[in-house]
């Protein structure tokens, strides 16, 4: 039997509970994975609350989780490139909070041998989102990138990936996270009123691109500093006007393998804020909803 986290109604984190279901079996092009760790994202909490119910209603009992890592223990007949016992990282759709999942082999990449399980479990969702954003902006050597909420899950990755591309990063964060951003290689700046002037002081030649990971007035500041919305994007603000593009995530095994390669080269770290067990999923959701998470939250399954 497999253990999975479900919720039977929208509500507070306490609607989450662990139940047992029959072990899933892989289809021809799928892997079955005994999960070691999975990532918790703000979008998971929004789905649990019912924020998306008008256009993506839950089919109760519903499940959660888009990123996981674990050990392959069964393989579909059409799968190549993977073997039983392989350690993998995988992206999925709302099933990762579990001790056993099946996923398309096309969604998996081999885990770097030195990467701890909690870090592997939280790599793919925010990491691929950040990489997609930088691709959309064409960030490269010489760019000066403003990243709003740079200490958060996506922001932590975007900061490092932009620096790996040769860009200078100015990252907004509360003062308690400034030392953390400095360790990542960014120039920290406090968000809030007067942000545009503080950024101008740090970048007298101006910024050349902006990534928004928080929404709201951050996009107005980006356009104000750039003078145009052409190289400003938001990852979270669905309704912002003013021409700022909203960019989703272009997920692929190729992109995921690229992140793993950067990790192996020492160009990417995976910051873990806190770890919880499957049974502690409600506590993990309470934590993610504080809005003050630095890096990522992991569910350590086994």
pLDDT at 128: 97
CATH of the domain at 197: 3.40.50.720
- Alpha-carbon separation of residue 197 from 24, 148, 234 (angstroms): 55, 15, 21
Are 78 and 156 found together in one domain? Answer: no
Q: Is residue 82 in some structural domain?
A: yes
Q: Is residue 222 in some structural domain?
A: yes
Q: Is residue 109 in some structural domain?
A: yes
Are 61 and 136 found together in one domain? Answer: no
Q: Is residue 253 in some structural domain?
A: no
pLDDT in tens, 76-110: 999 999 999 999 999 999 999 999 999 999 999 99
Are 106 and 132 found together in one domain? Answer: no
pLDDT at 302: 72
Q: How confident is the model at residue 149 (pLDDT cuts 50, 70, 90)?
A: very high
Are 231 and 284 found together in one domain? Answer: no
* 45 Cβ contact list (under 8 Å, min separation 6): 13, 285, 288, 289
CATH of the domain at 67: 3.90.180.10
Are 90 and 201 found together in one domain? Answer: no
Residue 237, pLDDT > 90, answer no
pLDDT at 106: 98
Number of domains in the chain: 2
Please, are residues 261 and 164 in contact by the beta-carbon 8 Å criterion? no
pLDDT in tens, 29-88: 999 999 999 999 999 999 999 999 998 999 999 999 999 999 999 999 999 999 999 999
* The pair of three-digit structure tokens given for residue 143, joined into one six-digit string: 């760019």
pLDDT at 76: 97
Q: What domain range includes position 67? A: 2-123+270-300
Q: Is residue 80 in some structural domain?
A: yes
pLDDT in tens, 106-147: 999 999 999 999 999 999 999 999 999 999 999 999 999 999
Q: Is residue 98 in some structural domain?
A: yes
Are 193 and 287 found together in one domain? Answer: no
Q: Is residue 89 in some structural domain?
A: yes
* The pair of three-digit structure tokens given for residue 226, joined into one six-digit string: 């750039």
pLDDT in tens, 157-198: 999 999 999 999 999 999 999 999 999 999 999 999 999 999
pLDDT at 136: 96
Are 37 and 150 found together in one domain? Answer: no
Are 157 and 236 found together in one domain? Answer: yes
- The last residue of one of the domains, among 231, 246, 261, is 246
Are 62 and 105 found together in one domain? Answer: yes
Residue 240, pLDDT > 70, answer no
DSSP 8-state assignment for residue 73? E
Are 38 and 68 found together in one domain? Answer: yes
Residue 291, pLDDT > 90, answer no
Are 75 and 7 found together in one domain? Answer: yes
Q: What gap in Å lies between CA 48 and CA 43, rounded to an integer?
A: 9
Q: What gap in Å lies between CA 147 and CA 158, rounded to an integer?
A: 8
Q: Is residue 257 in some structural domain?
A: no
Are 22 and 81 found together in one domain? Answer: yes
pLDDT at 236: 86
DSSP 8-state assignment for residue 245? E
Of all residues in the chain, what percent carry a pLDDT higher than 90? 91
């Amino acid at each position: 039997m497999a253990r999975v986290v479900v919720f039977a109604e929208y509500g507070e984190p306490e609607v989450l509970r662990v139940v047992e279901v029959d072990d899933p079996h892989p289809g021809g092009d799928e892997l079955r994975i005994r999960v070691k760790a999975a990532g918790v994202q703000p979008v998971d909490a929004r789905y649990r609350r019912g924020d998306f119910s008008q256009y993506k209603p839950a089919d109760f009992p519903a499940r959660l989780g888009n990123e996981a890592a674990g050990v392959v223990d069964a393989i579909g007949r059409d799968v190549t490139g993977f073997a039983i016992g392989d350690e993998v990282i995988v992206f999925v759709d709302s099933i990762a909070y579990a001790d056993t999942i099946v996923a398309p082999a096309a969604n998996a990449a081999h885990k770097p041998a030195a990467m701890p399980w909690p870090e592997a479990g939280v790599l793919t969702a925010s990491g691929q989102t950040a990489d997609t954003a930088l691709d959309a902006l064409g960030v490269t050597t010489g760019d000066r990138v403003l990243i709003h909420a740079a200490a958060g899950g996506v922001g932590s990755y975007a900061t490092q990936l932009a620096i790996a591309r040769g860009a200078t990063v100015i990252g907004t964060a509360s003062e308690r996270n400034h030392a953390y951003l400095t360790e990542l290689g960014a120039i920290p700046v406090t968000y809030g009123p007067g942000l545009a002037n503080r950024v101008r002081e740090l970048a007298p030649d101006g910024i050349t691109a902006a990534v928004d990971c928080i929404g709201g007035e951050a996009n107005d500041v980006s356009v104000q500093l750039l003078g145009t919305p052409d190289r400003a994007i938001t990852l979270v603000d669905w309704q912002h006007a003013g021409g700022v593009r909203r960019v989703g995530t272009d997920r692929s095994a190729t992109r995921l393998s690229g992140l793993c390669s950067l990790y192996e080269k020492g160009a990417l770290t995976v910051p873990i804020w806190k770890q919880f067990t499957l049974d502690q999923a409600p506590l993990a959701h309470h934590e993610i909803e504080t809005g003050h998470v630095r890096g990522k939250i992991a569910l350590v399954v086994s």
